[in-house]
A and B are shown apart, each in its own frame.
Chain A
Amino acid sequence: MIEAAGLTKHYGSTVAVDDLSFTVEAGRVTGFLGPNGAGKSTTMRMILGLDTPNAGRALIDGKRYAELKSPLRTVGALLDAKWVHPNRSARSHLRWLAKSNHLPVQRVDEVLEMVGLTAVANRNAGGFSLGMAQRLGIAGALLGDPSVLLFDEPVNGLDPEGIVWIRQFMHRLAADGRTVLVSSHLLSEMAQTAQELIVIGKGRLIAQTSTDQFIKDATEDNVRVRSPHADKLRELLAGTSTVTADAVDGALVVHGMDPASIGELAAANGIVLHELSPQHGSLEEAFMQLTKESVEYHGA
């Protein structure tokens, strides 16, 4: 289990992570979702003791990372697949990692087998494709048979086959009862990988909920209504639903009421309607909607 409480990190005057609190439970894959620059990697680095938070703390099974004895036996992390020396063989890379946490050398061959790199174990990691490097990173994370796993954008740049492999791999790890935290900036990817979601934007927590619930909430259907008596209709609707105005043409966008009820309400009050159309939101649209204000870098 991972617990973050009030995690805060400044870089100069920039606030990368702002009073972030969440828990990651064992036995399921938890997605860590947010736009690029939202603070996902910084948060993971603070959980792993690489960066020191300005405030708050992160605990793994009740302990700070630095307090763990032989940390690789408790926590496996893949933050960047490129964190290998290009002129060192895959086996040597895993060999020093294993040695550092008193893991038997046979374990190196076991994890290489697990990720399918046995045939290239003695080749220098610098010659690996991104997919192979990603597998080597996962082998390193699994070395100590840890109960907690963190992966930062593990499918970035992978081909579809690699993506499916990683996804299934994570499901297997969670099914074993491990705690799995996976970050991504793609909701569609997370929808297929994670059962639980922690959504952040600009370093702040936006939502922690089950993926199903998040998708249901996020893609809730809206109804577009145009009427010459928009103001009156708006007053009538205000009691039972949320009404916003479309930024482009000023039409009302009604959440939480189906088209039939809106039509009946209008008729009962003698309001003329020019449009009454149900809208179906997409997953990515909803995510963008939710994180719009918290996107760090906008296109011009």
Chain B
Amino acid sequence: MTLLAVERIKLFSTRSPWWCVGTALAITIGMAALIAANTDDRFPLSVPVSQGFTNFGMVVLMVMAALAVTTEYRFGTIRATFLAVPGRVQALVAKTVVVALVSGVVGEVIAFGSWGVGKLIKPGADMAIDSAAEWRNVAGTGLVFVFAAVLAVAVGVLVRQTAAAVAILLVYTLLVENLIGIIPTIGPKIQRWLIGRMSDHFLTAGNQSFLAEGGADDHPFGPWGSLAYYAAVCVGLLVVALVVAKRRDA
């Protein structure tokens, strides 16, 4: 508990996490409002439509999570941390937990905020969250955000540099995941195993919306299996990062 308090103080005593959280909320809920305002009979607003842009918030929070680690390396406070807490694994796990919790809470706020703003703008639309799939689509966002932050912390610990960590995370999440499908034959086969596909499937399975991309509908797992796979990859990478941090000279 003490270590969680330490990491909480560290995270919130600088301004960048506040900016990241604010940006994430503004972009996603703003986009949700814009979409809701432009829906009509042909493109009707529904619960899944309101959730269409939560991923943008996730990317911003991944940047926050990576920064929480890389700035410590940049400014040497990671060494001050390891002097105060020689158990490096405990210190880094505490940081991961705090960052992941913040990310998860913000994820929930984004999901329900996006849903709420849609309901507000189009009171007539069918915005009732009344199926398990719809609950998963909205309330599941926080879970996806939690493990996205875990992944970002792991990458931050491994590469230790802000520019490199942010570049890797953004290029992977925004480009590699989508573009790899272009490779003939093998591309789609790889793509179905990528973590972004898994987390998307967890959120959107069973939810019809005009935003959903056509095509690849073959998923190796069901929604919860997809979440488990996605979580396992993120936590797995964190374990690798912790082992590296423990062995490496600080």
Contacts and interface: CB of A to CB of B under 8 A. Distances in A.
A50 B84 contact: no
Contacts of A85: 10, 13-14, 71-72, 75, 77
Given A65-B86, A84-B75, A85-B75, A96 B250 contact: no
B2 A100 contact: yes
Q: How many interface residues does chain A have, given as a range? A: 20 to 34
A229 interface: no
B9 A92 contact: yes
B40 interface: no
Which of B10, B14, B84 has its CB near the most chain A CB atoms (within 10 A)? B84
Nearest to A81: B76
A95 B249 contact: no
A249 to B, nearest CB: 49
Given A50-B79, A50-B83, A66-B86, A87 B16 contact: yes
B83 A72 contact: yes
B245 to A, nearest CB: 12
Kindly state the interface size class of chain B when it binds its partner.
20 to 34
Contacts of B81: 100
Contact of A77 (B2, B71, B83): B83
A144 B64 CA distance: 31
B249 A52 contact: yes
A141 to B, nearest CB: 10
Contacts of B79: 50, 79-80, 83
Interface in B160-187: none
A52 B249 CA distance: 6
Interface string A95-111: 11101111000000000
B15 interface: yes
21 contacts: A49-B86, A52-B247, A52-B249, A65-B86, A71-B83, A79-B79, A80-B79, A83-B80, A84-B75, A84-B76, A85-B14, A85-B75, A85-B77, A87-B16, A88-B10, A88-B14, A93-B13, A97-B84, A99-B5, A100-B85, A140-B80
